[in-house]
Amino acid sequence: MKSTTASAQALPPQPALSPADEAFLEDFATMSAFGATASGGVDRQAASVADVSQRQWFAERLEAHGLRVEYDRIGNQFGLLERVPGAPFVVVGSHMDSQPTAGRFDGAYGVLAAAHAAFRLAGEWERSGEVPRFNIAVVNWFNEEGSRFVPSMMGSSVFTGKLPLDKALATCDRDGVSVREALEPTGFLGDGDGPTAAFCAEIHIEQGRNLENSGTTIGLVTSSWAANKYEFVVNGDQAHSGATLMEDRRDALLGASLLVVAAREIADRFPGVLHTSVGQLDVYPNSPVVVASRVSLLLDLRSADESVLRLADELLHTRIEEIEATARVTVERHHSHSWGVTPYQREGVELARRGAERLGLSHTDIMTVAGHDSINMKDLVPTVMLFVPSSEGISHNEFEFTTDEDMVAGLRLLTEVVRGLAAGEITG
């Protein structure tokens, strides 16, 4: 990680909040009410009632500022600021869907910051008469979280051609409702493929504590950690949980539990350089008096070192064979999706660095451990990814928090970045 170019103490104080900053914070408070939970978080899973309501509100905000709202065939929501007819777009945004009980900031901050950056630039261009080289498309990607429909980053995966549209639309949630069935009543299924992208930008909370620990305001994302994600199905035999002899049992939940432990033990072999997790278990028949016959689980491995990831993957699959023998079960292995350690374009990082220096914002180079839609987009067009601090690194949690000052600082830098991209300051 590259150290910040100037210490926080040496930087000039940031300007007071402007009316435009206040308007952004007011919109953020309004947006946070959609799907609000009792503990201050949100529950806005993809195509849920809360998600639909906030999308309708967001469309009204975009249209009130003169942007044209469109949807593509997977339900990605675009607000188009078209100053140059026929020119491609700087696609800027994130996602508004959430985990079942999540924080207010993850994804949603980046969508609203993108919209307000577009509002500010539209006003500037109107007053000055300036005509940019590229248009702006504010985006709210569909089902980034993957909490209702697997895989995550679905909308951007379809947009970039990494996931077939038909496969995505046919994906079902736990209740058997498909993406198509969930979206059709909402009016969010368009008939096109979305705007033609020239560049992409995304701002997001860090979801870690590197920035907070170093007292740094902005993270300039240089690359992502690599990740392998799997869906495993452990098959055993249904049996009576009391009467069946222990030696006769083929307990799928035992096998799944051993997989959970194996994932953590493998991570412990590579302290600090490998993250593993099992985030979801579906147990059948999930009855108190029945030995489970089937368990589905989602397991992922992540590392900034692809050689470590390969070795961890080999260890995991060796352990699966051992678990099958120990628990007398079989494990179906399905690869969900993966990505490697791939850099964000250097010219985009430097564009953001120049903007941070103009604004007097402390900044540092950083990698992203979490997946983001920009990871897909950077393989299609030059892409800029920015982070702002997360208090205590808390995320995917109702107590997730980023200060108003950091959110506004990020918005100001995002506006600088989008201005530069729209002006053609880097090559596509």
Of 339, 354, 373, at which residue does a domain stop? 339
CATH assignment of the domain containing 70? 3.40.630.10
Shared domain for 55 and 176, answered yes or no, is: yes
Mean pLDDT of 84-105: 97
- Neighbour tally for 132: CB within 10 Å: 20
Q: Based on the domain organization, do 140 and 27 belong to the same domain? A: yes
Which of 339, 373, 406 is the endpoint of a domain? 339
Helix axes 19-31, 404-422, angle to 10 degrees: 110
Residues 363-394 as b/e (b if ≥16 CB within 10 A, e otherwise) read: bbbbbbbbbbbbbbbbebbbbbbbbbbbbebb
3 within domain boundaries: no
Q: What is the pTM of this model?
A: 0.90
Q: What angle do CA 224, 226, 227 make, to 5 degrees?
A: 125
Residue 242 sits in a domain of what CATH number? Answer: 3.30.70.360
Range of the domain at 383: 8-225+341-422
**CB 83: neighbour CB atoms within 10 A?**
17
What is d(CA 226, CA 402) in angstroms, rounded to the nearest whole number? 26
Give the C-alpha separation, 249 to 290, whole Å: 11
Q: Would you say residue 394 has pLDDT above 90?
A: yes
The reply to whether 117 falls in a domain is yes
Q: Which is nearest to 413 in space by CA: 359, 366, 349, 374? A: 359
Residue 15 has a pLDDT of 81
- 340-366 confidence digits (pLDDT tens): 898 999 999 999 999 999 999 999 999
Number of domains in the chain: 2
Q: What is the mean pLDDT of residues 233-252?
A: 97
Asked if pLDDT for residue 7 goes beyond 80, the answer is no
Encode pLDDT of 401-415 as tens digits.
999 999 999 999 999
- In which element (H, E) is residue 351 found? helix 346-359
Q: Residue 118 CA to chain centroid, in angstroms?
A: 21
Q: pLDDT by residue (tens digit) across 284-340?
A: 999 999 999 999 999 999 999 999 999 999 999 999 999 999 999 999 999 887 888
Could you tell me if 338 and 396 are in contact, meaning their C-beta atoms sit under 8 angstroms apart? no
Under the banding of pLDDT at 50, 70 and 90, the label for residue 3 is very low
| 12 C-beta neighbours (distance < 10 Å), count | 8
Q: Are 46 and 172 found together in one domain? A: yes
Pairing of strands 363-368, 218-224: parallel
For the record, the structure tokens of 369 come out as 């451990």
pLDDT in tens, 39-60: 999 999 999 999 999 999 999 9
